[in-house]
Structure 1
Amino acid sequence: MEVLLFCITVKESMPYIVFLALSLGVFAVCCGSHTLQYHLTLISAPNPGVPQYTITAYIDGVKYGKYDSDVHHTQVLTPLLSLLTEHLEMQTKHAQELEVIQKHKMKFLMGFLNKTRGNEAFHVYQRTFACELNEDSTINGYEEIAYNGKEVITFDKERVVYVPAMQEALVITQLWNKRYDHAKMNKMYMENECIQHMNLYLTYILTDLERKVLPKVKVLSSETAGGRILHCWVYGFYPRDVEVKWIKNGRDEIYSEESAEILPNPDGTYQIRVSVEVTPEEGATYSCHVDHSSLENPLVVPFEQNHGKLNSMILVGGAVLLVTLVALGICSHRRRT
């Protein structure tokens, strides 16, 4: 079955469920909406420093497991999960088997899409699979296939069939449904085992879900021909959701024309940079306002002339990070079914 990643059979999971129930005094995870996601990325050719094949697993945005073709072994990022030694060995085997299937699928897409998009040497195949348990106990989920950063095929859970995400993928999707008959199995997994696994994993990573890390803030600037660009760099915060905005004279919000994206850090925290262009005005003041769940009150960091110009190394480092994230397929489109 294609979607068996980081999964435990009911029989295998029972001893651990009982152990956790006895130690925590509960038999179910607290109510609320939860999401279990798997992100798979495969690149067409080896690239120094970047694994050719990666699987990353998340619960409610918290990365708890990964596998890549350099290490050839499933790794967990929550200490309690490391107790599941037999389970991790089984997941390593599944990940290796899945790699073979995904290479076939990538080759299939390349055979069609390279004719219409040029024949570049480097291509990226991405697959996102998720199941969702809503607060009212209803179940949802989605699956998306992307090629070179653009969504090509999505899974229609209600019709139990894959559908094209763009016009040129109509014929491709028809052939995909005939060649890869995984729709029914994936729907069953999405609505059953995936939810069971989610509930199991949640008991292990509740501490991670509840942790909060205060954001750090740096206010910088760079000069332009007509004025100045102010940059508010917020980093090292957790969880992911954050609000960052520039305020003029303590009351007027300045809207940025540049789309700001929240990016992950290697240590599991996040960063974001919000930039606005301003025209120097005598007596005007500017400040960056940051609101995050770890803060009792929003942070207000004023811009001062002695902050100097923007450190070019920060810009270069941010650009390199963004390129790497795109190559690894971390940035993926999400569509709920």
Structure 2
Amino acid sequence: MGHTVLLLLLLLLSLGVCAVHCAGGHVFQYLITRILFPTPGLPMYSIILYLDDLKCGKYSSDTRQAQVLISLDGLINILPQKVLAVHLEMQTKFAQELEITERDEMEFIMGFSNKTYDKGQFHVYQRKFVCELNEDGTTSGYEEIALNGKEIIALDKEKVVYVPVMQEALVMMDQLNKRYDHAVDNKMYMENECIQQIKLYLYYLSADLNRKVSPKVKVSSSESESGTKLHCWAYGFYPRDVEVKWIKNGRDEIYSEESAEILPNPDGTYQIRVSVEVTPEEGATYSCHVDHSSLEDRLVVPFESSNRSMLYLLIGGTALLLVLASFALGIFIYTRRKSKGLEKTGETA
């Protein structure tokens, strides 16, 4: 029963199945999260669904209602409002049933993992279900279950069973596969119905998926222990893929020791900040180069002269401090010598 609900949910919530671009292909991704106890600001249970980069739908225990997270203007021209309402009602019903199933499975896994149910403990159960339609027409996919951020169970599509990824999950696998016997159905869905859903909704959501939003860019600087850091913040762009790098004197790339992560914005766009550490050099120029599919040409944002002047001010200030320190040291030495000279004169007298 629980697995049937899972399959139907995946089918009916395809407005929200997550897909990421992969070399011209498309992906459905479906993410479930459950936490053990109520926590301020977090639903105890949630489903987030995407098509490619597009977050399309969600369900949470706070509202207990399935929601579409995309504009319905284009869909209403294809699907009447009444049909959409029935669609959401069915999604809600199956999500509510799946919520109960996932609660039971989390408790089962925690019991075998010797996890306590103390309210001071924060435990998180996550399930990821993915199917992929590759550019050459082949299909693939995977399913994973994690507890407290660590993957513990995965679907083995060859043996068509769930297998342990961590040693601690080994003791429960036989009972888990008997109690939650849905590996066969999940594999079939992954390779068949899920792929058909990708093709269907690519048509419905083509306008959303093909939209392009150009990045906005800001550059700034800050001081660090070993020099100066230059920051390039690109934000508000879509789709996700972007290249951001710092260039010195118009030709030399400056490599960053910090890994830059592309992060989602609430409006469905993305952002990234790339920072590099430099040693200020008078006359050197620095610029941030941003390459994105929404741009006809690469966007080049120079580190403005007003900002560079801060570098030069730093250089000048450092030099001035050295001069003042040298001057003060000279006066100190001169005073000491003069003082010793007067002392010797006094002794001679």
TM-score by length of 2: 0.76
Give the alignment of 1:66-145 within 5 angstroms.
66-78=58-70, 79=72, 80=75, 83-113=83-113, 115=115, 121-145=121-145
Matched, 1:191 2:206: no
Give the alignment of 1:240-279 within 5 angstroms.
240-279=240-279
CA distance in structure 2 between the aligned counterparts of 1:119 and 1:72, rounded to whole angstroms: 24
1:170-219 alpha-carbon deviations (Å, 9 max, x no partner): 22434422331110111111122212222222221000111000101111
Q: 1:41: which partner in 2?
A: 33
Tell me which amino acid in the other structure corresponds to 2:296.
Answer: E
Are the counterparts in 2 of residues 217 and 234 from structure 1 also a CA contact under 8 Å?
yes
3-state SS of the aligned residue for 1:36?
A: strand
Give the alignment of 1:159-198 within 5 angstroms.
159-198=159-198
CA distance in structure 1 between the aligned counterparts of 2:176 and 2:288, rounded to whole angstroms: 49
CA distance in structure 2 between the aligned counterparts of 1:3 and 1:307, rounded to whole angstroms: 56
Tell me which amino acid in the other structure corresponds to 1:43.
Answer: I
1:146, distance to aligned residue in structure 2 (A): 1.4
CA distance in structure 2 between the aligned counterparts of 1:303 and 1:152, rounded to whole angstroms: 47
CA distance in structure 1 between the aligned counterparts of 2:113 and 2:266, rounded to whole angstroms: 33
1:256, distance to aligned residue in structure 2 (A): 1.4
CA distance in structure 2 between the aligned counterparts of 1:306 and 1:51, rounded to whole angstroms: 46
Are the counterparts in 2 of residues 6 and 88 from structure 1 also a CA contact under 8 Å?
no
CA distance in structure 2 between the aligned counterparts of 1:244 and 1:162, rounded to whole angstroms: 40
Structure 2 gap ranges (5+): 14-23, 311-349
Tell me which amino acid in the other structure corresponds to 1:191.
Answer: E
3-state SS of the aligned residue for 2:109?
A: helix
CA distance in structure 1 between the aligned counterparts of 2:146 and 2:10, rounded to whole angstroms: 22
Tell me how large the CA RMSD over aligned residues is. Answer: 2.3
Q: 2:341: which partner in 1?
A: none
Moved more, 261-270 or 60-69: 60-69
Q: 2:330: which partner in 1?
A: none
Moved more, 127-136 or 202-211: 127-136
Q: 1:292: which partner in 2?
A: 292
Are the counterparts in 1 of residues 218 and 234 from structure 2 also a CA contact under 8 Å?
yes
1:289-324 alpha-carbon deviations (Å, 9 max, x no partner): 110000001111112363499xxxxxxxxxxxxxxx
3-state SS of the aligned residue for 1:221?
A: strand
Q: 1:58: which partner in 2?
A: 50
3-state SS of the aligned residue for 2:257?
A: coil
CA distance in structure 1 between the aligned counterparts of 2:267 and 2:92, rounded to whole angstroms: 23
Larger radius of gyration: 2
Are the counterparts in 1 of residues 10 and 30 from structure 2 also a CA contact under 8 Å?
no
3-state SS of the aligned residue for 2:7?
A: coil
1:71, distance to aligned residue in structure 2 (A): 1.6
1:71-115 alpha-carbon deviations (Å, 9 max, x no partner): 211111231176522121111111111111111222223234455
Specify whether residues 75 and 219 from structure 1 end up closer, same or farther in structure 2 by C-alpha distance, changes over 3 A only.
same
3-state SS of the aligned residue for 2:258?
A: coil
Specify whether residues 173 and 288 from structure 1 end up closer, same or farther in structure 2 by C-alpha distance, changes over 3 A only.
farther
1:156, distance to aligned residue in structure 2 (A): 1.4
Q: Percent identity?
A: 68
| Structure with greater helix percent | 2
Tell me which amino acid in the other structure corresponds to 2:262.
Answer: I
Moved more, 204-213 or 130-139: 130-139
Tell me which amino acid in the other structure corresponds to 2:30.
Answer: Y
Tell me which amino acid in the other structure corresponds to 1:149.
Answer: G
Question: Alignment length, in residue pairs?
Answer: 286
1:247, distance to aligned residue in structure 2 (A): 1.3
Specify whether residues 115 and 52 from structure 1 end up closer, same or farther in structure 2 by C-alpha distance, changes over 3 A only.
closer
Q: Which of 1, 5, 12 is the matching residue for 2:9?
A: 5
CA distance in structure 2 between the aligned counterparts of 1:98 and 1:124, rounded to whole angstroms: 17
Structure 1 gap ranges (5+): 10-31, 310-337
1:133, distance to aligned residue in structure 2 (A): 1.7
1:236, distance to aligned residue in structure 2 (A): 0.3
Moved more, 120-129 or 181-190: 120-129
CA distance in structure 2 between the aligned counterparts of 1:248 and 1:146, rounded to whole angstroms: 44
CA distance in structure 1 between the aligned counterparts of 2:48 and 2:268, rounded to whole angstroms: 13
1:123, distance to aligned residue in structure 2 (A): 1.6
Moved more, 194-203 or 123-132: 194-203
Are the counterparts in 2 of residues 7 and 91 from structure 1 also a CA contact under 8 Å?
no
Are the counterparts in 2 of residues 244 and 274 from structure 1 also a CA contact under 8 Å?
yes
CA distance in structure 2 between the aligned counterparts of 1:284 and 1:293, rounded to whole angstroms: 30
Tell me which amino acid in the other structure corresponds to 2:45.
Answer: Y
